[in-house]
């Protein structure tokens, strides 16, 4: 493949009951992707699922290998990068919708691990796939780590991720494959996926191409995690500190939940994306001076990128 870049029981996972209250997603060529975060009402696992708004970072169209292009009649693959800004600790799920009139093989990788089997994803047709029926929508809430067990997704710092693949922590990736002409009979899987609101496993799925025809990547909250706090949007100028991560320099320097930050290194910060853009140019160990507003007074605080 030509690459651009390179335990919770089933019952507990299923107990997160709620309704989606908005629909913000990514519309792809073959598949639609939506990331929904769960906000609990604090009673019997009830709450609402709310979509996180993605921001497009980059879009690339890359030529397929000759044999892949010949098998699918398509010369190019589509690659898109997005970012989202969740709150740390919140559980989430990924909604996948097949846009085609045929079966679609889909690999969903969270922090570099395949949600269908928990193995490290290679980005080729060798990866185990979920198979979606024509125009089917599914909601995947965790890694399937056994025939009747799943490990629920939640937004965590890179060091707190379930995944050992350090380079992929903080990334959600979706790979889409069309079926080959020999696709026909299949063996039905255990069906455990249905218990955790996942699509039924169908084995084998013969991909028409070795490389995915579409890759959608979503990075989550790497910037504000690096400074030791979770970012929260506000009406007007600035951003709010949603929570401070225990043991970080931000906590040691006295940053508090509810503080308002208006500048970082002399640059106005009016959204969490503004903060991400600034930190994307920095490295661990770099110092960032932020202007903090608290209880009618303003002061400067020096933080450090830790992760």
Residue ranges with strand state E in 12-134: 17-20, 26-27, 31-40, 46-51, 55-63, 76-84, 92-98, 104-110, 113-114, 130-132
Bigger pLDDT: 10 vs 31: 31
Q: Are 239 and 233 in contact (CB under 8 A)?
A: yes
Question: Is the Cα dihedral 8, 11, 16, 19 positive or negative?
Answer: positive
Q: Which of 219, 211, 217 is nearest to 77 (CA)?
A: 211
**Superfamily, domain 222-304:** PDZ domain (2.30.42.10)
Q: Is 18:46 a contact under the CB 8 Å cutoff?
A: yes
**pTM: predicted TM-score of the whole model, two decimal places:** 0.68
The per-residue pLDDT for range 211-234, each reduced to its tens digit, is 899 999 998 855 555 788 878 888
| pLDDT attached to residue 6 | 25
Domain with CATH 2.30.42.10 in the chain: 222-304
101-115, 146-160, 192-206, 241-255: range with lowest mean pLDDT: 192-206
Question: So what's the pLDDT on residue 56?
Answer: 83
Q: Which residue has the higher pLDDT, 158 or 269?
A: 269
pLDDT number for residue 196: 38
Q: CA 67: distance to chain centroid?
A: 31
Query: With pLDDT > 70 as the criterion, what percentage of the chain qualifies?
Result: 76
Secondary structure string (H, E, C) spanning 176-190: EECECCCCCCCEECC
């Amino acid at each position: 493949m030509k690459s651009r870049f390179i335990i919770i029981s089933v019952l507990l996972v299923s107990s997160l009951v709620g309704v989606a209250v908005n629909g913000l997603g990514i519309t792809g060529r073959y598949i639609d992707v939506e990331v929904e975060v769960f906000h609990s009402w604090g009673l019997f696992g009830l709450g609402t699922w709310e979509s996180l708004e993605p921001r497009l970072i980059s879009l690339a169209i890359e030529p397929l290998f000759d044999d892949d292009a010949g098998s699918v009649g398509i010369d190019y693959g589509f690659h898109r990068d997005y970012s989202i800004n969740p709150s740390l600790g919140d559980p989430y799920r990924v909604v996948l919708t097949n846009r085609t009139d045929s079966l679609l093989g889909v690999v969903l990788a969270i922090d570099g691990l395949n949600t269908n089997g928990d193995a490290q994803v290679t980005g080729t047709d060798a990866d185990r796939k979920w198979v979606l029926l024509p125009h089917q929508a599914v909601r995947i809430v965790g890694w399937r780590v056994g025939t009747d067990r799943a490990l629920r997704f939640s937004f965590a710092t890179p060091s707190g991720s379930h995944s050992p693949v350090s380079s992929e922590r903080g990334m959600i990736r979706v790979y889409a494959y069309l079926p080959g002409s020999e696709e026909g009979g299949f063996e039905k899987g255990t069906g455990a996926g249905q218990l955790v609101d996942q699509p039924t496993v169908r084995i084998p799925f013969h991909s028409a191409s070795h490389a995915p025809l579409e890759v959608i990547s979503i990075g989550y909250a790497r910037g504000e995690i690096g400074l030791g706090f979770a970012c929260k949007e506000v009406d007007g100028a600035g951003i709010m500190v949603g929570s401070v991560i225990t043991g970080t320099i931000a906590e040691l320097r006295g940053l508090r939940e509810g503080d308002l930050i208006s500048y970082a290194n002399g640059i106005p910060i009016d959204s969490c994306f503004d903060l991400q853009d600034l930190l994307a140019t920095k490295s661990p160990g770099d110092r960032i001076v932020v202007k903090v507003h608290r209880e009618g007074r303003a002061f400067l605080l020096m933080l450090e990128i830790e992760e």
